[in-house]
Amino acid sequence: MARSHLTLAALATAAVDGLDVRQVGSYDTGDNGDFDSAIITGGDGRHFVVRVPTTERAENEQSADIQSLSALSTGVRGRLPFEVSKIVGQTAVDSTRAVVFEHVYGDPVHLASIPAGEGLATSIGRAIAAIHMLPTSFVADAGLPVRAPHEVLRAVSILMDRASATSLVPATLLGRWERATEDTALWQFVPTVVNGSVSTSSFRQTGGEVCGVLGWQSLAVDDPAQDLFWAMGAPDSVAQSIVDSYQLARGSSDRQIVQRARLYAELQLAKWLLHGTQTRDNEVIDDAVSMLHNLVDRVENNLDKNITHDTIPVMAVDEVEAMLDARDRRSDSA
């Protein structure tokens, strides 16, 4: 049973010394019930968000988010052109903990609200670039993951092998992905700091400019393409605006970043399939197989072209996000 706003307000008061709660209201985190959440208005007019995980997966996510936010020092945050939340207190509740964060102001971003050209799309590109230009040392110092290109490639290969072992992935896709892993030029990139969980729901915007980024639980040093794959299903003009702005801001010489991002986008279907086989959920398996065959239909005219050299249409962002949301809901009910 979800905790009431009054209960959450009481927990916030216990977590933050001197917090004078004047108002409490609903806070939509888009987490499908993984957290009991509320927005708190303090006596000084500031706003805070209190969250209590309701599943083991959510608790692990929150713990990772706390570690990442703690690693983002004042100096590191000062390099970013947007706000990142701060933890202001936490308190034990039942077998977990309630955590209170500073509220990050701004409006949510939806795929349909991102126009091509100068504006929100280019602001998103610059925001991602700013993350990738942070010094990598603070991530390593915090004990967060640091992955070299060969480790990234190995993880991709393992994922492909596991998907192949199901005998449910079309041979044309397996061949396509295998050619990508065999292209050494594709994996010659310089790892950067990555958010690791970027999607449209990560951003807060005001006036067409990114003013905040949420969800830092996957902070790491990794392939920068990990933060761009979500955009590959957007309309071509929007995706191009994001990537162009990103590359201009970074001065990036990573010529294969879009191709790797597209590969990661396709591999989301392999992850969905594996989730279905692991949980023995035939509905998920059938859904994943159907989407894999739809992907074949989308790229069949390009099967003679290597993914490392040619862009191809993939799942739309809203399709990917809906798939991942459904996976999370099924994980919680399993």
Which residue among 35, 69, 104 closes a domain?
Answer: 104
Could you tell me what percent of the chain has a pLDDT over 70?
A: 88
Which residue among 59, 87, 104 closes a domain?
Answer: 104
Verify that 269 and 288 share a domain, yes or no: yes
- The CATH number of the domain where 223 resides is what? 3.90.1200.10
Banded model confidence at residue 318, pLDDT cuts 50, 70, 90: low
pLDDT per residue as tens digits for the range 9-34: 999 999 999 999 999 999 876 666 78
Verify that 94 and 129 share a domain, yes or no: no
- The CATH number of the domain where 26 resides is what? 3.30.200.20
Q: How many CA atoms lie within 13 A of 150 on its CB side?
A: 0
- 3-class secondary structure, 30: coil
Verify that 202 and 216 share a domain, yes or no: yes
The pLDDT, as a whole number, for residue 68 is 97
- Has residue 312 got a pLDDT over 90? no
Rounded to an integer, the average pLDDT of 228-232 is: 94
Which of 104, 132, 116, 119 lies closest to 189 in space, CA to CA?
A: 132
Report the amino acid identity of residue 132: H
Element (DSSP H or E) covering residue 101: strand 96-102
Contacts of 313 (CB under 8 A, 6+ apart): 233, 298, 299
Among 52-56, 156-160, 217-221, which is the least confidently predicted range? Answer: 52-56
Element (DSSP H or E) covering residue 48: strand 47-53
Report the amino acid identity of residue 145: P
Residues 86 and 47: their CA atoms lie apart, in Å, by 12
Verify that 133 and 246 share a domain, yes or no: yes
Which residue among 104, 139, 155 closes a domain?
Answer: 104
Verify that 176 and 304 share a domain, yes or no: yes
Domain count for the chain, please give it.
2
Residues 200 and 232: their CA atoms lie apart, in Å, by 12
Verify that 254 and 271 share a domain, yes or no: yes
Token pair of 284, please? 């998920």
Residues 204 and 211: their CA atoms lie apart, in Å, by 6
What does pTM read for this prediction? 0.87
The pLDDT, as a whole number, for residue 187 is 96
Mean pLDDT rounded to a whole number for the chain: 90
Residues 41 and 128: their CA atoms lie apart, in Å, by 30
- Has residue 303 got a pLDDT over 50? no
Ramachandran region, residue 143 (left: φ > 0; alpha: ψ -120 to 50; beta: rest): left
Report the amino acid identity of residue 73: S
Verify that 219 and 194 share a domain, yes or no: yes
Verify that 61 and 199 share a domain, yes or no: no
Verify that 9 and 95 share a domain, yes or no: yes
Verify that 77 and 131 share a domain, yes or no: no
Token pair of 298, please? 């989308």
Residues 300 and 303: their CA atoms lie apart, in Å, by 5
> What number of other Cβ atoms are within 10 A of residue 289's Cβ?
18
- Has residue 114 got a pLDDT over 50? yes
pLDDT per residue as tens digits for the range 50-91: 999 999 989 999 999 999 999 999 999 999 999 999 999 999
Verify that 306 and 290 share a domain, yes or no: yes
Which of 80, 62, 69, 53 lies closest to 102 in space, CA to CA?
A: 69
What secondary structure, in 3-state letters, does 117-185 show?
CCCHHHHHHHHHHHHHCCCCHHHHHCCCCECCHHHHHHHHHHHHHHHHHCCCCCHHHHHHHHHHHHCHH
The pLDDT, as a whole number, for residue 330 is 55
> What number of other Cβ atoms are within 10 A of residue 312's Cβ?
19
- Has residue 279 got a pLDDT over 60? yes
- Has residue 314 got a pLDDT over 80? no
Which of 40, 139, 32, 141 lies closest to 88 in space, CA to CA?
A: 40
φ, ψ of residue 265 in degrees (nearest 5): -65, -45
Query: Any idea what DSSP says for residue 253?
Result: -
- Has residue 323 got a pLDDT over 80? no
Banded model confidence at residue 297, pLDDT cuts 50, 70, 90: confident
Q: Range of 262's domain?
A: 108-333
Q: In what order do the strands lie in the sheet with 203-206?
A: 107-108, 203-206, 209-213
Verify that 134 and 82 share a domain, yes or no: no
